[in-house]
Amino acid sequence: MKKTTTNRNMRILKIYPQCYPRRYNEHVNLPLIRLSGRWLEQIGFKIGGHVQVVYESGRMIITKVKPYRKK
């Protein structure tokens, strides 16, 4: 993943196409954002953890959360 770092608290990431098959010989491309790296672990996003994604037009906020447990 190629990234440009403008400061230690910001990452500029590319939005990739993700191809999903539909019917025979048909597919749709949907946007995909990949987040990976030691920096995620360093800020508390551990493997197996859960996150909440809150979104609005042009913006996403990703927050670490405790896993939801059904009662």
Q: Which domains does the chain have, with CATH numbers?
A: 4-65 (2.10.260)
Tens digits of per-residue pLDDT, 11-61?
899 999 999 988 888 899 999 999 999 999 999 999 999 999 999 999 999
Does residue 8 have a pLDDT over 60?
yes
pLDDT band for position 4 (cuts 50, 70, 90): low
Q: What is the pTM of this model?
A: 0.71
Q: Burial code of 24-57, b = ≥16 C-beta within 10 A, e = fewer?
A: eeeeeeeeeeeeeeeebeeeebeeeeeeeeeeee
User: Residue 22: what pLDDT?
Assistant: 86
